[in-house]
Amino acid sequence: MTGHVALTGATGFIGRHLLRSLTERGYRVRVLLRRPVEVPEGAASAVVGDLTRPMNMAAALSDVDAVVHSAGLAHAMSGAPEDDYRTLNTEATRRLAEAAARAKVRRFVFLSSIRAQCGATSPHPVCEDDAEAPTDAYGRSKLEAERALAETGLDWVALRPVLVHGAGVKGNMAALLRLARSPYPLPLGGLSGRRSLISTESLAAAVDAVLKAPGPLNRALVAADPDPQTLPEMVAALRRGLGRGPGLLPVPGALLGLACRLTGREEIYDRLAGGLVARPDGLMALGWRPAMPTPQALALLARDGG
């Protein structure tokens, strides 16, 4: 399928990459904008409306073959009120999906999160068959949105991406990029927890794969590049893109953890040292493959300025 797609979140970090990728792949894209801003380059048309309030969704979804829903309230370490996550992630998704069902849209692709399935770390590789056990308001709101989709009768798929990296990245990956740019050796060489990542290019390819997949899907799929990295490997790849050596000191993880706890940075250490490996078995079965190896993608991210 390369048809007419309605895309939400087109002005956000992931949405911008999806818009470019979809248009390059031959899709005609109508963007659903929350505010009357300039129409993003590449969009065939635009409709303005707030998904959390009444709007004419019939007009927004007329002649649309599929919906790609990437808008929502992003995860933040500091958190947000649970009601905000539920309003912007769950109820807005439910409202859009119900309108898509009335418009007889062929497929609804929801950008969920691995946090709908597990916490920030996991002692074992995460796969789609595992029982969902979100640990915070963000993850719960995404899981509730997935369940709302299942109630609409639509042919739907929820992609659960791990940490996403690419041009314009924010949050934890932006912080890691700033750390890699520092001129100093970093005491991270003793950390061994492996973490799955996914590039914006690989995620866009995953969206294309599920749009084109035959038959009803009606399931959630893990979205992760299949080569998890340790934190030292991530820093080394980023610094390689900057034309530098790794600059990593082999400080034992336990010692680094003690220092973080004594300085009130225990949560940061747990996120840095903990592992979260996710297996994209379902996507691989659909024929999806990553755009490039993760070390290469990280090096390009740093080289191009992030």
**Four-way CATH pick for 4-165+198-225+277-291: 3.30.565.10, 3.30.70.60, 3.40.50.300, 3.40.50.720:** 3.40.50.720
Total residue length of the chain: 306
pTM: 0.93
Tokens describing residue 97: 């999906």
| Percent above pLDDT 70 for the chain | 95
Checking if the pLDDT of 1 tops 60, the result is no
Angle at which helix 92-102 crosses helix 137-150, to 10 degrees, equals: 20
Nearest to 127 by CA among 242, 291, 249, 280: 280
In terms of pLDDT, which residue wins out, 156 or 171? 156
Note the pLDDT of residue 104: 95
Percentage above 90 pLDDT, the chain: 73
Pair 83, 45: CB distance under 8 Å: no
138 is catalytic: yes
Determine the average pLDDT of the residues in 33-43.
81
What integer pLDDT is reported at residue 83 of this predicted model? 87
The per-residue pLDDT for range 188-244, each reduced to its tens digit, is 999 999 999 999 999 999 999 999 999 899 999 999 999 999 999 999 999 999 999
Q: How far apart are CA 156 and CA 106, in angstroms?
A: 9
For 119, the token pair is 């916490």
- What's the rounded mean pLDDT across residues 49-59? 78
Q: Per residue in 78-120, pLDDT tens?
A: 567 888 899 999 999 999 999 999 999 999 999 999 999 999 9
Q: Which among 27, 85, 138, 269 is annotated as catalytic?
A: 138
160: nearest Cα among 193, 123, 129: 129
Q: List the chain domain ranges.
A: 4-165+198-225+277-291
User: How far is 138 from 85, CA to CA, in rounded Å?
Assistant: 6
pLDDT of amino acid 268: 66
Q: What's the pLDDT band for 14 if we cut at 50, 70, 90?
A: very high
